[in-house]
Amino acid sequence: MPIKKKYTSLFVLGVILLALAAAGTYFFSESLVSMVSLRTATEATLADAVNRVKTMVGISSFAAIVLILASIAVFRHARHRHRRMLERFSWFLATADQAGELVTIVTRKGKIEYVNRAVELATGYAKKELVGKRNKPWLPWYKDQQVFGDMRSLVLAGTQYRGMTWCRRKDGSAFLLKEHVTPLRERKGTITRFISTARDVTRQKQVEDRLDYLDRYDALTGIPNRRHFAELLKQELGEKRPVDWLVAVMIMDIDRFKYINDLFGPEVGDEVLQRIADILRSAVGDQDIVARLGSDEFGVIHRYEARFSDTSAVADRIRHAIAQKIIVAGQDLAATATIGIASFPDSGRDAKTLIRNADIALSRAKSMGRNSVQFYSQEMSDQIKEFYLMDKRLVGALRNSEYQLNYQPYCDLITKRVTGAEALIRWHNNDIGFISPSKFIPVLEKSGLIADVGEWVLRTACAQLGEWKRQHRTFKLAVNLSLGQFHQRNLIGMVSNVIQDTGIDPEYLALELTESVCIQDIDFTVSTLKKLKDLGVSISVDDFGTGYSSLSYIKRLPVDNLKIDMSFVRDVTRDPDAASIITAITGMARSLNLKTIAEGVESEEQRNILHLLRCDMGQGYYFSPAVPVDAFDRSFR
């Protein structure tokens, strides 16, 4: 029973007892007076009546006094407990008012009893507009009444509610609350109130939405990124479509985009990428998907009908659209694109395989020349697998002494006397046997092993050159420098160290590099060749005549010999144009005081014609193939 009711009951009972005592006293007094007036009572009877009255009055008065004192004590205790409860409640209200979370207490019937300061700040409503009001919607800032109704039903059933709720401030702006609503019960278990604690998570939601967007879309161009591209392709392959509809994946790379960044800065480069994204969206169909997969790499998911195989046409349309001039920041820029294509189901039946195979086709297209299109074929994967296996074996080939040098002479075309030789690397692996240099040398270049292997070739050749000198046999020995070797930072130091370590006369060492290596960066080539010449070695240009500007640049290079490419030598007996080219090369070489060496001489007829065309030396099977050092010594001692 509540304290207030206990106090009231005790007080009323005390008053009733006092009244009864007074009434009894009154009636006994009246009886006593009547008895005296009538003189009917005896002295003993009067004395007994007086005693009874005294006893009744005493007992009633004592009981009344006890009850009144008890009621006063109960009242004072109740007032003390109430004061302590108010103090605690005031502490709760002060704490809640300073809390960052929104705190609201509402009665079962919808009357708001309390809101803290955070509610005012978040909703725009003042306390006086809320506290003591009975609102039709439980909380006036609720945006969706259906959400409120579901939540209220849940809480009335005695279950706590947790959820995210979109709300509307007094000014109409929206915000998101993460809310926890708990039912408050009396001792008997009746739910009398609800207490809601909530947090404004609008900013957090915006950040999460932004992160989710950036997780799926490219921030610069606004199109899907690589991850979302793969998801969309997976969805596309999983959807039901007519049997005559197919899917192609195109992956393209913007050629030489790094030059645009380096010349004009990353800001211009970013704007170019944005323009290219717009161009791609315009160049493909409405059902196609465009994505940015990397720095300057884009992807397209293209749907097409099997009987109208327009994939090539779309790829060409993309290339031509990108090739149009792009004006950015006042700069007239030009770009081209190289594209690799993989088609479902021929080139793969899942998203991962299609993307991988389109990447493979792109790599093949880039190796064959820029601004081109290449479709995937199984042969490409086979070559990559072969490359991987070969690279794996090449890692230990030098350590396991699997390389050897063969030597092929080049001879005077008149006397057929050996005037020099070329050191050529050969590789024998126990698992796969002999491997052609045309297969493993490109692998060495790409894997970065060419520097160590190249140094081994140079040291081995120079050691053999020193051995021949001790046998009083002196002629030039040529060693090839690959593209990777020629551009390595310590090339000059490495060649100098090998010459010093082996003790050879550098006059008898010739370094060969192909014409394609020479013309990549003519200024760098001239500078490097001059440093090599300063060491005392001679320089030969291999495969001469296959470049784009052979006759114009050769006069700048500090070289000694020109090796005429075998493609001209092979046709010299039947193609007047080949003979004319050789004549031009030999004439230019003589004017520059250079020697010429014809590669791939295989017959007496070729030797005679080359001699008539004033070529100095020849190299090829007519004289000797490349042979191990023992066979070379036996043949040409």
In 3D space, the residue among 409, 488, 505, 478 whose CA is nearest the CA of residue 448 turns out to be 488
In this predicted structure, the answer to whether residue 33 has a pLDDT above a threshold of 60 is: no
Which of 73-77, 368-372, 508-512 is the most confident on average? 508-512
Query: pLDDT at position 117, please?
Result: 84
Give the Cα-Cα-Cα angle 180, 182, 183 (nearest 5 degrees). 155
The pLDDT value given to residue 1: 45
> Which of 174-183, 188-197, 622-631 has the highest average model confidence (pLDDT)?
622-631
CA distance 336 to 320: 8
| H/E element, 488 | none
Give the number of residues written for the chain: 637
**pLDDT-based confidence at residue 503 (cuts at 50, 70, 90):** very high
> Which letter does DSSP use for residue 128 in this model?
G
Q: Cα(401)–Cα(465) distance, rounded to whole angstroms?
A: 20
Average pLDDT over residues 170-177: 88
Average pLDDT, the chain: 83
Q: Classify 602 as helix, strand or coil.
A: coil
Whether pLDDT at 378 is above 50? yes
Whether the predicted pLDDT of 32 surpasses 80: no
To which residue do tokens 């297209």 refer? 365
More confident residue, 420 or 58: 420
Residue 500 has pLDDT above 60, yes or no: yes
Does the pLDDT at position 472 exceed 80?
A: yes
Contact status, residue 272 vs residue 360, Cβ threshold 8 Å: no
Lowest mean pLDDT among 207-221, 321-335, 445-459: 321-335
Nearest to residue 102, comparing CAs of 91, 118, 87?
118
DSSP state of 41: S
Cis peptide, bond prior to residue 183, ω within 30 of zero:
no
Confidence of residue 467 (pLDDT cuts 50, 70, 90): very high
The Cα–Cα gap between 463 and 21 comes to 141
pLDDT of the residue at 306: 65
Give the residue-averaged pLDDT of 609-634.
93
Helix axes 351-368, 226-238, angle to 10 degrees: 120
Query: What are the tokens at 618?
Result: 């020849």
pLDDT digit string, tens, across residues 266-314: 888 899 999 999 999 999 888 899 999 988 999 999 988 765 567 888 8
**Which amino acid makes up residue 310?**
D
Mean pLDDT of 346-356: 91
Whether residue 92 is predicted with pLDDT greater than 80 in this model: the reply is no
CB count in 10 Å sphere of residue 159:
11
Q: Give the pLDDT confidence score for residue 240 in this predicted structure.
A: 67
CB burial readout 574-588, b (16+ within 10 A) else e: eeeebbebbeebbeb
Strands 538-544 and 561-564: parallel
Q: What interhelical angle do 226-238 and 202-216 show, nearest 10?
A: 70
pLDDT number for residue 447: 85
pLDDT for 523 beyond 70: yes
Report pLDDT for 103. Answer: 86
Find the range with the poorest average confidence among 319-328, 457-466, 563-572. Answer: 319-328
Proportion of the chain above pLDDT 70, given as a percent:
81
Residue 538 pLDDT greater than 80, yes or no: yes
pLDDT given for residue 611 in this prediction: 93
Confidence at 514, pLDDT banded by 50, 70, 90: confident
Neighbours of 593 (CB within 10 A): 7
Report the pLDDT value the prediction gives residue 67, as an integer from 0 to 100.
63
Which tops the pLDDT comparison, 406 or 635?
A: 406
pLDDT value for 501:
94
Residue 495 is predicted with a pLDDT of: 95
In degrees and rounded to multiples of 5, residue 212 shows phi and psi of: -65, -40
Query: What are residue 55's DSSP bridge partners?
Result: none
Question: Among 150, 199, 208, 154, which residue's Cα sits nearest to residue 177?
Answer: 199
Per-residue model confidence (pLDDT) at position 3: 47
CB within 8 A of 602, min separation 6: which ones? 570, 620, 621, 622
Contacts of 141 (CB under 8 A, 6+ apart): 123, 125, 167, 168, 169, 170
pLDDT by residue (tens digit) across 197-252?
A: 888 888 888 888 888 888 899 989 999 999 999 999 998 888 766 666 788 999 99
Edge-first strand order for the sheet with 289-292 is 289-292, 297-305, 245-254, 337-344, 373-375
**Do 441 and 383 form a contact (C-beta atoms < 8 A)?**
no
- DSSP conformation letters of 361-420: HHHHHHHH-SS-EEE--HHHHHHHHHHHHHHHHHTTTTTTT-EEEEEEEEEETTT--EEE
